[in-house]
Amino acid sequence: MTRGTPTATARVERQQPAHAPRRADPCTAIILGAGGDLTRRLLLPAFCRLAASDLLADDFLLLGVDRQPLDDAGFRAGLRARIGGEEAGAISDAAWEKLTPRIRYVSGDLTDPTAYAAIATKLAELEQDHAPEHRNRLFYLAVPPVIFDPIITQLAASGIAPRIESCDARPWVRIVVEKPFGDSLESAMALNEHVLELFDESQVYRIDHYLGKETVQNLLVFRFGNSIFEPLWNRAHIAHVEITSSETLGVETRGRYYEKAGVMRDMFQNHLLQLLSLTAMEPPVTMSADAVRDEKVKVLRSVRWLKHGTVDENAVRAQYAGGSIGGQLVRGYREEENVAPDSVAPTYAAVRFLIDNWRWSGVPFYVRSGKRMARRLTEIVIQFHRPPMLMFGHETRGALAPNKLVLRIQPKESIALTFEAKTPGAALSLTPEIEVASVAMNFCYSDVFGGSVSPAYETLLLDVMVGEATLFTRSDEVEASWRIVDPIIQRWERFTSKKIPTYRAGSWGPDESDDLLREGGAEWRNPDGD
């Protein structure tokens, strides 16, 4: 028989870093749309912490561009009053004071070509005392996707962001584009074509903040830096893989956006398929940007496409209804602001993906994401095959839990391995029935490395400024992801009624999602606590 799940915490020797983080190249970071929420919540806090850690070059400057008619002092004051948020945490006065002398501002409508003349004038003024090789420029498009196209056009036409064929050339020009990159395969291909007509692929950094998380990056080290795991990482030993990204929040103020996007565009095409590709990829030849991204693209191209006739049996969608989160009553999706009362936009989806290659043939990857769920959680669960026979007595048949490896991305970043162990009691030779329990070995990042891990945007912004593209998505990777999710989105949008399954807010999703796994003899891991 089995008991509960005790925990055995693994002892880990903390090692000092082999070298200090590389400092950023000298550059001017131009934030287009600097008055928006992204700048306040994530970009400015990241730049503040980089400045406080002395990782910004002495010649670093930050130029904000937005519609408001402000001067430098007014822009700085507005930022300081609003900077930070739950994701970024509080920004200390000391960190702010390290950055604020470097902040400048220019006013302009980014859809108007005359704004780029003003930006050019400001840049010439800011860079006049810098050595030519220090006049590097980082353009960050912190703007709605609908105006990506005209901004890209004007950056090139104005001459402030010239095409540079070599990634080693100085000064460099780099352009950071936020998700979503397109809203379908067709639009993503058109946007890629337009961008690559004007800029070299090496200049374009398509950002996905999930890839900046330490635990996502550690997935590669865990797999390829430990010889005890990689030999087991295949269909011979793994029964299935679960990838979960759940939120307790609803759509909040993003109802209008969510009505068009839904959970597939918002989470699957980017974040979740990134986690799938990193989990399933082959070892790269080197840890260079192109070598890693080549292997990720191979995986995405191996994912079996779901056609209209197979979507319904492999994908589940649903919408949250009213319920309770943290003891507080919350309304359903259709009652949210800017949401149609008969909306069928999915706030939850679960999909069974199959990867048609030698390593993963026959191993289902169950991927789910939803809003207003029981917990905020992102994790990857590797479930191994059960033992071929059980010799520990009749009561253990069908009761022993399979071994699981749980890679927690957020919160409380950790790795846990569960396995079966005999509980204290009579010797094996004295009784035909023994008690067996699942135990877990846990590695927690904060216990070993202290404090919290670096926020994703700090990592990614520093990578852009040193020219490290490994954690950014390439054009072929974006298109490969859209090829996977497009048939699902089209099926749900073109062949639908006004009815959609619902799940209670505060639950783990609809019953249909559980049924999807039961068909394969599996069940979701729905943790109650930490």
Angle between the N-to-C axes of helices 456-466 and 44-52, in degrees from 0 to 180, rounded to the nearest 10: 70
Distance in angstroms (rounded) separating the CA atoms of residues 106 and 413: 40
| Residue the block writes with tokens 């330490």 | 214
Tell me the residue length of the chain.
Answer: 530
Secondary structure of residue 483 in the 3-state scheme? helix
The closest alpha carbon to 216, from 269, 276, 176, 303, belongs to: 276
User: 3-state SS of 243-298?
Assistant: EEEECCCCCCCCHHHHHHHHHHHHHHHHHHHHHHHHHHCCCCCCCCHHHHHHHHHH
The DSSP letter of residue 361 is T
The closest alpha carbon to 319, from 348, 354, 291, 341, belongs to: 348
| Residue the block writes with tokens 């702010």 | 96
Q: Residues with Cβ < 8 Å from 84, sequence gap 6 or more?
A: 40, 41, 45, 90, 91
In this structure, are residues 39 and 142 in contact, taking their beta carbons and an 8 Å threshold?
Answer: yes
The DSSP letter of residue 166 is -
Which amino acid would we find at residue 331? Answer: R
Distance spanning both ends of the chain, measured CA to CA? 25
**Known active-site residue 271:** yes
Q: Residues with Cβ < 8 Å from 316, sequence gap 6 or more?
A: 348, 349, 350, 351, 501, 510, 512, 513, 515, 516
Which amino acid would we find at residue 197? Answer: E
Instruction: Spot the catalytic one: 240, 271, 308, 385.
Output: 271
The closest alpha carbon to 82, from 26, 32, 29, 40, belongs to: 40
Q: For 502-528, give the DSSP string.
A: EEETTBS--HHHHHHHHTTT------S
Torsion of CA 34, 39, 40, 43, to 10 degrees: -140
Distance in angstroms (rounded) separating the CA atoms of residues 185 and 191: 10
List residues with catalytic annotation: 271
